[in-house]
Amino acid sequence: MKLLIIEDEKALANSIREFFHHENHICEMAYTYDEAREKVNLYDYDCVLVDINLPDGNGLDIIKELKENKVDTGIIIISARNTVGDKITGLDLGADDYLTKPFHLTELNARVKSVVRRRSFEGQREILFNEIRIVPDRMEVFIDKNLIDLTRKEYDMLLYFISNKDRVLSKESIAEHLWGDEIDMADSFDFLYTHIKNLRKKIVENGGRDYIQTIYGIGYKFLSSGK
Amino acid sequence: MKLLTKTSLYYILFSMITFIIGGIIFYNTVKNIMYRQIDENLVTEQLLVEEAINITDTVPDYTSVFGHMIQVLPYIKIYNQVELIHDTAVYDSSVKEIIDCRHLKYIMLSTSKQGYTINIYKPLKNTKSMIAEIIFSITILFLSLMIILFIVNYFISRRAWIPFYRTLGKLSSYKVTQDESLKLPDSKIHEFHLLNETLEMMSQQIHRDYVSLKEFNENAAHELQTPLAIIKSKLDLLIQDQNLTPDQYTKIESAYEALRRISRLNQGLLLISRINNNQFEETEDVNIAALLKKLLDNFSELISGKNIHVDAIFNDEVILKMNPTLAEILLSNLLSNAIRYNFNEGWIKVELSSRSLVISNTGNPLKVSPRILFERFRKSSSTGDSVGLGLAIVNKIVLYYGMKIEFTSTDSIHNLKITF
The Cα A76–Cα A119 span in angstroms is 12
pLDDT of A186 reads 52
Torsion, Cα of A126, A130, A132, A135 (10° steps) = 0
pLDDT of B183 reads 83
**What is the distance in angstroms between the CA of the first residue and the CA of the last residue of chain A?**
28
* CATH 1.10.287 residue window(s) in chain B: 191-276
Residues A157 and A56 in one domain: no
Residues A131 and A115 in one domain: no
pLDDT of A160 reads 93
pLDDT of A135 reads 87
CB pair distance less than 8 Å for A191 and B263: no
The Cα A22–Cα A44 span in angstroms is 21
pLDDT of B232 reads 92
Phi first, then psi, for residue B99 (nearest 5°) are -120, 150
Amino acid of residue A78: I
Q: Which of residues 3-42 of A touch B (CB under 8 A)?
A: 9, 11-12, 15-16, 18-19, 22
Q: In a mutagenesis test of the A interface, which of B219, B226, B270, B279 is the best target, namely the one with the most A β-carbons within 10 Å? A: B226
Bridge partners (DSSP) of residue B121 are B69, B103
For residue A89, give its domain range. Answer: 2-120
**What is the distance in angstroms between the CA of the first residue and the CA of the last residue of chain B?**
37
CATH fold of B191-276 reads: Helix Hairpins (1.10.287)
How do A26-30 and A2-6 pair as beta strands?
parallel
The verdict on B276 touching A (C-beta cutoff 8 Å) is no
Chain B nearest-CA distance from A112, in A, is: 16
How do B68-75 and B64-65 pair as beta strands?
antiparallel
The Cα A118–Cα A95 span in angstroms is 13
Q: In a mutagenesis test of the B interface, which of A104, A153, A167, A184 is the best target, namely the one with the most B β-carbons within 10 Å? A: A184
Residue A184 domain-assigned (yes or no):
yes
DSSP assigned state of A92: H
Q: What percent of chain B has pLDDT over 70?
A: 94
What residues in A contact B327, CB-CB < 8 Å? none
In which band, very low, low, confident or very high, does the pLDDT at B277 lie, cut at 50, 70 and 90? confident
Domain termination site, one of A93, A120, A147: A120
Residue A177 domain-assigned (yes or no):
yes
Residues A8 and A114 in one domain: yes
Residue A115 domain-assigned (yes or no):
yes
Domain termination site, one of A120, A139, A163: A120
* CATH 3.30.565.10 residue window(s) in chain B: 284-419
Residue A107 domain-assigned (yes or no):
yes
Task: Say which CATH number the domain at A148 has.
Answer: 1.10.10.10
Judge contact between B118 and B63, C-beta under 8 A: no
Name the region of A215 (left: φ>0; alpha: ψ -120 to 50; beta: rest): beta
Residues A143 and A69 in one domain: no
Domain B284-419 has CATH 3.90.550.10: no
Name the region of B356 (left: φ>0; alpha: ψ -120 to 50; beta: rest): beta
- Radius of gyration, CA atoms only, chain B: 48
Residues A139 and A185 in one domain: yes
pTM of the model: 0.68
pLDDT at B129 exceeding the cut of 80: yes
Amino acid of residue A196: I
In which band, very low, low, confident or very high, does the pLDDT at A10 lie, cut at 50, 70 and 90? very high
Residue A46 domain-assigned (yes or no):
yes
A87 vs A52, A80, A118, CA distance in Å?
A: 11, 11, 20
In which band, very low, low, confident or very high, does the pLDDT at B386 lie, cut at 50, 70 and 90? low
pLDDT of A188 reads 61
Q: In a mutagenesis test of the A interface, which of B228, B238, B240 is the best target, namely the one with the most A β-carbons within 10 Å? A: B240
Which is more confident, B51 or B378?
B51
Task: Say which CATH number the domain at A51 has.
Answer: 3.40.50.2300
Q: How many CB atoms lie within 10 A of CB A219?
A: 26
For residue B40, what are the contacts with CB-CB under 8 A and spacing of at least 6? none
The verdict on B263 touching A (C-beta cutoff 8 Å) is yes
Of A80, A168, A172, the CB nearest to B225: A80
The Cα A110–Cα A96 span in angstroms is 13
pLDDT of A121 reads 61
Residue A183 domain-assigned (yes or no):
yes
The verdict on A220 touching B (C-beta cutoff 8 Å) is no
Judge contact between B417 and B410, C-beta under 8 A: no
pLDDT tens-digit readout, A122-159:
646 788 888 899 988 888 899 988 889 988 889 999 99
pLDDT tens-digit readout, B59-97:
776 666 556 677 777 776 655 666 788 888 888 777 788
Cis peptide before B74 (omega within 30 of 0): no
pLDDT tens-digit readout, A15-38:
999 999 888 889 999 999 999 999
pLDDT tens-digit readout, A188-213:
677 788 889 999 999 998 888 889 99
Mean residue pLDDT of chain B comes to 84
Residues A187 and A85 in one domain: no
Residue A30 domain-assigned (yes or no):
yes
Query: Average pLDDT of B108-123?
Result: 80
Q: Is the predicted ipTM greater than 0.85, yes or no?
A: yes
Cite the DSSP H helix spans in B355-407.
Answer: 390-400
The Cα B131–Cα B289 span in angstroms is 90
Of B222, B252, B390, the CB nearest to A80: B222
CB pair distance less than 8 Å for A187 and B385: yes
pLDDT at B272 exceeding the cut of 90: no
What residues in A contact B231, CB-CB < 8 Å? 102
pLDDT of A183 reads 59
Residue A227 domain-assigned (yes or no):
no
Chain A nearest-CA distance from B297, in A, is: 11
The Cα B133–Cα B30 span in angstroms is 11
- Which of B276, B347, B360 has the alpha carbon at shortest distance from B308? B347
Could you give the number of structural domains in chain A?
2
- Which of B380, B414, B377 has the alpha carbon at shortest distance from B392? B377
pLDDT of A191 reads 77
pLDDT of A48 reads 93
Residues A69 and A9 in one domain: yes
For residue B224, what are the contacts with CB-CB under 8 A and spacing of at least 6? B262, B266
For residue B236, what are the contacts with CB-CB under 8 A and spacing of at least 6? A15, A19, A104, A105, A106, A170, A173
pLDDT of B78 reads 59
What residues in A contact B332, CB-CB < 8 Å? 182-183
pLDDT tens-digit readout, A81-111:
877 778 888 899 989 999 988 899 999 999 9
Consecutive H or E run containing B333: helix B324-340
How do B97-109 and A53-54 pair as beta strands?
unpaired
pLDDT at B248 exceeding the cut of 80: yes
For residue B362, what are the contacts with CB-CB under 8 A and spacing of at least 6? B342, B343, B346, B347, B348, B412, B413, B414
Domain termination site, one of A120, A145, A161: A120
**How deeply is B382 buried, as exposed, middle or buried, from its count of CB atoms within 10 A (0-12, 13-18, 19+)?**
exposed
